[in-house]
Amino acid sequence: DVKVTQSSRYLVKRTGEKVFLECVQDMDHENMFWYRQDPGLGLRLIYFSYDVKMKEKGDIPEGYSVSREKKERFSLILESASTNQTSMYLCASSSPGSGGLAKNIQYFGAGTRLSVL
């Protein structure tokens, strides 16, 4: 089974803190994604990465950065946390090279619920 692990289920941070959200996948997937989920808005893509050290902005990258130094790990960084970044954050991975039933599927972690006070 594919496993995507997010390091924390719940985080509470203060405004202005630098926050790191970590995500690790164990399936050698090329693509990794960070989303935020807010009620009524579905999932919105923050950043994604298609290879080590490669990253692309998603739809809402402002206030976030990412790091992918190793293929299995994709980190989301909030440089200076603000209250409007209180949300559920979901990491996902996929492999465009997978064949059959696995092709194009994104596999998700359990999520990190971040509260910024």
Partner 1 sequence: AQSVTQLGSHVSVSEGALVLLRCNYSSSVPPYLFWYVQYPNQGLQLLLKYTSAATLVKGINGFEAEFKKSETSFHLTKPSAHMSDAAEYFCAVSVGNFNKFYFGSGTKLNVKP
Binding site for partner 1 (CB under 8 A): 4, 9, 31, 33, 35, 40-45, 48, 50, 56, 58, 90, 92, 94, 96, 103-111, 113
| Comparison of 16 and 96: residue with beta carbon closer to partner 1 | 96
Q: Can you name the residues that pair with 12 across neighbouring β-strands?
A: 115
Two tokens, residue 82:
């603000």
Locus of tokens 């919105």:
44
> At closest approach, how far in Å is the CB of 16 from partner 1?
28
38/79 with CB nearer partner 1: 38
Q: Which is nearer to partner 1, 12 or 16 (CB)?
A: 12
Cβ–Cβ under 8 Å, residues 17 and 80: yes
Classify residue 13 as exposed, middle or buried by CB count within 10 Å of its CB (0-12, 13-18, 19+). middle
55 in Cβ contact with 64 (< 8 Å): no
**Cβ of residue 67: shortest distance to partner 1, in angstroms?**
18
The least CB distance from residue 105 to partner 1, in Å, is: 6
Taking the complex as a whole, how short is the minimal distance between the CB of residue 42 and partner 1, in angstroms? 4
Furthest-apart CA atoms within the chain: distance in Å: 46
